[in-house]
Structure 1
Amino acid sequence: MGMGFRRTARAWMSALACASLLGAASAAQAQQASNPEQEIKQAWAAAKAAAQPGPTAVTLRDQAKLNISAGEVFIPQPAAGQLMHAMGNRNNPDMLGLVMPTNGAEWMVVAKYEASGYIKDDDAKDWNVDDLFKSIKEGTDAANEEREKRGIPALEIQDWVERPHYDAATHRLIWSMAARSKGQPANEPGSVNYNTYALGREGYISLNLITARDHVDADKPAVQTLLAHLDFQDGKRYADFNAKTDKVAEYGLAALVGGIAAKKLGLFAVIAAFFAKFAKVAILAVAGFGAAIAKLFKRKSST
């Protein structure tokens, strides 16, 4: 195993210890992971072995193809789930994989597919963005009690980073919101969930960017490019919907912003909290998270 990976693994082990001391990992998670350092090491080993370097096209189940650019890698399941679990997240059967940069940037994109059925988009023209914001805030406040039980800091919703907008021609939705942990120092940037969706005949694929708020302007072009390079298979496109035979989702497009957002923010808050503490250690240990990822996958990408 290469020197870059060993230094990356050491940084993650140190970060996990740091996060545990600061309360980022819950007591329940600590009981489940009897050897968290080993879990991190194994997760990175699995990610490196499974990584598919760009440029390449990856198949997302029987639904779509996603073009991965040079300077990026796609980590499929089960390695992606193993890495997410090592970060303190529960396994999600809807997750397709992760996209990470190898060029020194500091972001991650989580790809998921939800077999919701065909989502009608006619409610987009009647959106009240203020009501959507209120819905997200109320849902997040209600979920804070459960977060605190798990040892995860309560969240405070700040504001839109990018207000919801939907392209009816391409059936793409984008919205972004900033959140921070309650009690987080004002001089520390909060986390950002930059959420993108592509609607299909049988459900939707989400490509959700995780990054720091002060990096979002620099990092969001990466996920926008991924969204543009996502193509549903013939027969799986939104336009292929057959009203006589196909399942229709129980919710409309607005639910992808208001109804599901609080849950997403809770998931990504765990990752963002872990990344934030990891980065502080990694900057000293391996010159930053992005550099660590670049070193980890450099040899694989060049083969």
Structure 2
Amino acid sequence: MGLGQHLGLHAGRIASAALLGACLLGTSAQVRAQTPESPAQTEAKTAWEEAGKAAVNGPHDVKLANQATLHLSEGKVFIPQQQAARLLRVMGNPGDYADLQGLVMPRGDENWMAIVRYEKSGYIKDDDAKNWNADDLLKSYREGTEEANQERSKMGVTPIEIVGWAEQPHYTASKHQLVWAMSTRDKGAPADQPQGVNYNTYALGREGYVSLNLVTGLKDLPKDKVEAQNMLSALEFDEGKRYQDFNASTDHVAEYGLAALVLGAGAKKLGLLAIIGAFVVKFAKLFILAAVGFGAAILKFFRRDKSGA
């Protein structure tokens, strides 16, 4: 996916969506008697129920693409690729999820999610990290988002605008990890509208990289980004697949560097920076429309203990 196709991420409504789901619990029976489910509502509810059944509780070691292991901690669940892709689609994001590994969500009352992907890009040289300009990257990202807004409009989703860096791109060479965050809001919205954030973390390996894209609201970023950082620390490439295992005489080298990961261009499928578009907008609408049991299914999924289910 090129820059022109890149879908910006707006996550400002994830907390309100969950709260709305709780409110719907008390009214679902009444709504059921009045309003039949639409096909979209039925599909959404089924997708969440299947995700709940397939979810793996931490602590658990999750294998990623025969490349790395995510040491999932207590209090989190991992939704495998098939069910995760279905969830993303019902949230309003059609597309190719071949490189999607799954979703990580908390089992408690927190409201964030992390999209885990592995891109077989080849070995990415990291020497351009010392020369990039954050202002230039921001300008390019805004231009790409403007192009992507045309696709968002076709989906019936409100266009977004890039507010700025929530955290400027920075690369830790000793760990081969890249982190950055962008804040967004609905285009033309008041300045005091809650802003969404996609907090992006990348771990480079010998043959490609794992991305962990945390979705949350700007006000929750200080506490929620700790979860992303902890997951990044809990990610371990297998022996022989580590960045330092690179063999210049045999291994494929990517045609782009780290700056391309921030810009969202330079590779065929580099829509990894904000892969799920306006899913929270769709997410909130689904909560409003699918009152019949949907709120209950969501909360059961987020809070259940599978061992006692």
Question: So what's the TM-score if we normalise by structure 2?
Answer: 0.80
Q: Deviations over 1:232-273 (max 9, x none)?
A: 011111011111111110101110112349945664441232
Partner residue, 1:270: 278
Moved more, 185-194 or 93-102: 185-194
Structural mapping, 1:1-303, within 5 Å? 35-91=39-95, 92-260=97-265, 263-264=271-272, 267-277=275-285, 293-295=301-303, 298-300=304-306, 302=308
- Which range moves more in the overlay, 209-218 or 94-103? 209-218
**Identity of matched residues, %:** 49
Paired with 2:265 and 2:289, the residues of 1 have a C-alpha distance of: 33
Question: Cα 1:123–1:272, aligned 2, differ >3 Å: closer, same or farther?
Answer: same
Larger helix fraction of residues: 1
Q: How far did residue 274 of structure 1 move? A: 2.8
Contact 1:279 1:288 in 2 (8 A): no
Compute the RMSD of aligned alpha carbons: 3.0
CA spacing shift, 1:235–1:227, aligned 2, 3 Å: same
For 2:261 and 2:296, locate their aligned partners in 1 and report how far apart those are by CA, in whole Å: 33
Equivalent residue, structure 1, for 2:17: none
Whether the 8 Å CA contact 1:102–1:294 is kept in 2: the answer is: yes
Q: 1:57 to 1:264 in 2, by over 3 A?
A: closer
How far off its partner does 1:278 sit? 5.8
Query: Which region of structure 1 is more displaced relative to structure 2, 65-74 or 252-261?
Result: 252-261
4+ runs of 1 displaced by more than 6 Å? Answer: 279-283, 285-290
1:184-243: CA deviation from partner (whole Å, max 9, x where unpaired): 344331210100000001111000000111111121111110000000011111011111
Aligned-pair distance for 1:145?
Answer: 1.8
User: Contact 1:103 / 1:290 at 8 angstroms: preserved in 2?
Assistant: no
Q: Which runs of 5+ in 1 are unaligned?
A: 1-6, 15-33
Aligned to 1:20: none
Q: Structure 2: which 5+ runs fail to align? A: 1-20, 29-37
* Partners of 1:282 and 1:288 within 8 A in 2: no
Instruction: For 2:251 and 2:147, locate their aligned partners in 1 and report how far apart those are by CA, in whole Å.
Output: 34
Q: Which is worse superposed, 134-143 or 178-187? A: 178-187
8 Å contact kept, 2:105–2:302: no
SS at structure 1 position matched to 2:188: coil
Deviation at 1:178, TM superposition (A): 0.4
Moved more, 151-160 or 263-272: 263-272
Instruction: Go from structure 1 to structure 2 and tell me whether the alpha carbon gap of 1:279 and 1:292 turns closer, same or farther (over 3 Å shift).
Output: farther
> Residues 266 and 197 (structure 1 numbering): CA distance in 2 closer, same or farther, change over 3 Å?
closer
* SS across alignment from 1:189: coil
SS at match of 1:78: helix
Q: Bigger relative contact order, structure 1 or 2, given CA contacts below 8 A and separation 6+?
A: 2
Q: Which residue of 1 aligns with 2:31?
A: none
Kept in 2: contact 1:99–1:108 (CA 8 A):
yes
TM-score (norm: length of structure 1): 0.82
